[in-house]
Amino acid sequence: MGNESYPMKGGDGTFSYTKNSSFQKAASSVAQGLICSAITDKFDAQKFLMSTTSTAPASATSTICIADLGCSVGPNTFTAMQNVIDTIEAKSKIHSQSPQFQVFFNDHTGNDFNTLFTSLPSNRAYFSAAVPGSFYGRLFPDASLHFIHSSYALQWLSKAPEELVNMDSEAWNGGRIHYTGAPQGVVDAYCRQFFKDMELFLDGRARELVVGGMMVLIMPCVPDETVTHSQVPAGIMFDLLGASLLDMVKTGVISQGQVDSFNLPIYGVAPKEMEALVEKNGRFSIEKMELTNPASAVKSTEDSLNTSVSGNAIARHLRAGMEGILSNHFGVDIMDELFDRFSQKTMEFSERFNACHKQGTQLFLTLVKRK
């Protein structure tokens, strides 16, 4: 469908996503409690299910269908899905219902689904299936899902805006790999791409969810429009990654043109922008919109970000997520040097990290499908 696809590093080796996704896990663990409350307060599973006591409506089902969009290879997706199921189950028991569960794991076709399915928890009490493809297109039949979850995936644009590589455009982004520190034209091009993509995402999901179905989205964000992306942790990482690449231009390992023509297809949304998009779509009500601070959870799991071990851990996490897209453009041969250089910038990272905005850099959004 013309979408670019750069899945996380598959397998279970040193640089795999499986072994290097604890930051995402810590960040989304903040969200697990919020998901429980959202389901408990606003998800009416009993409305969808066949009743054991009264005559069932014709549309009733015995199965709750759940999808995780941008699931990657695990283990975070398993924890999230189990949490959703446990909470729905507990709520259903009160109504003497015991639904079956079907979980659809979605990611790009290039995702390492083999690793995902070979590591499925053996004690799971749900049916599982893969749904490959971009979530910026249709993935499921109309009104076939009851619950949609997506964590740390929607910051990925379908592609980097094309204007960024046009030297005659206001959005020309030479010498940078992202929009941190870039002219307004570049920021605007990124923003336009995000809006285009998110409109497609919301349109698709509005068709696929049943009325009353719930969608929970967890994504990195900037707390408001006045905070630039270079003032949040992810933006700092991308800045230093860009600086590492430019160091390698200086030593002649890669060319300036290679950096000029590369742009990360990633956007950090502001809550107001999401609100505007949901309102424009018009098919969902916003049940909850909350900003949390994932950095505190990450910090407590990783001892301290000031140690060199953590510097390496940051480099490995970034590598697990970014090696696909970077090696596709710059070649696999430079990856070791690139991430070595990146981890040598740990001191700078720590200083900027300590001074940056950490409050409200994770957006938690609960939407319910309207009639």
Task: Give me the residues that bind ligand SAH (CB under 6 A), please.
Answer: 3, 7-8, 21, 24, 28, 70-72, 76-77, 106-108, 111, 134-136, 151-153, 156, 158
In terms of CB distance, is 24 or 83 closer to ligand SAH? 24
Between 217 and 315, name the residue whose CB sits nearer to ligand SAH: 217
Residue carrying structure tokens 């900027």: 352
Q: How far is the CB of 128 from ligand SAH (least distance, A)?
A: 15
In the complex, least distance from residue 83 CB atom to ligand SAH, rounded to whole angstroms: 12
| Residue whose CB is less far from ligand SAH, 109 or 255 | 109
Cβ proximity to ligand SAH, 110 vs 174, nearer residue: 110
Distance, CA of 70 to CA of 153 (rounded, Å)? 5
* CB of residue 216 to ligand SAH, shortest distance in Å: 12
**CB nearer ligand SAH, residue 13 or residue 174:** 13
Distance CA 35, CA 66 (A): 13
Q: Which helix (H) or strand (E) element contains residue 145? A: strand 145-151
Strand partners, 130: 105
Burial, 45: exposed, middle or buried (Cβ in 10 Å; 0-12, 13-18, 19+)?
Answer: buried
In whole angstroms, how close is the CB of 320 to ligand SAH at the nearest point? Answer: 9
Least distance in angstroms from the C-beta of 148 to ligand SAH: 12
Residue 104 or 136 with smaller CB distance to ligand SAH: 136
Nearer to ligand SAH, 317 or 341 (CB): 317
For the bound state, the minimum distance from the C-beta of residue 201 to ligand SAH, rounded and expressed in Å, comes to: 8
Rounded CA-CA distance 151/313 in Å is 21
Q: How far apart are CA 298 and CA 304, in angstroms?
A: 9
Which two tokens mark 106?
A: 């979605």
β-strands 127-132, 100-107 pairing: parallel
What's the CA gap between 201 and 134, in Å, rounded? 9
Residue 75 identity? P
- CB–CB of 1/106 below 8 Å? no
**Least distance between ligand SAH and beta carbon 29 (Å):** 10
CA 349 vs CA 3, 336, 338, 344, 354: distances in Å: 32, 19, 15, 9, 8
Please state the closest distance from residue 335 (CB atom) to ligand SAH, in A.
Answer: 18
193 burial via Cβ count (<10 Å: 0-12, 13-18, 19+): buried
Partner residues linked to 64 by β-bridges: 101
Cβ neighbours of 39 (radius 10 Å): 23
At its nearest, how many Å lie between ligand SAH and the CB of residue 154? 8
- Of 171 and 320, which has the nearer Cβ to ligand SAH? 320
Least distance from C-beta 294 to ligand SAH, angstroms?
11
- Considering the complex, state which of residue 191 and residue 249 has its C-beta at the smaller distance from ligand SAH: 191
Q: Give the whole-angstrom CA distance, residue 28 versus residue 328.
A: 28
Contact 132, 109 (CB under 8 A): yes
Token digits of residue 318: 């970034």
Q: Which is nearer to ligand SAH, 98 or 109 (CB)?
A: 109
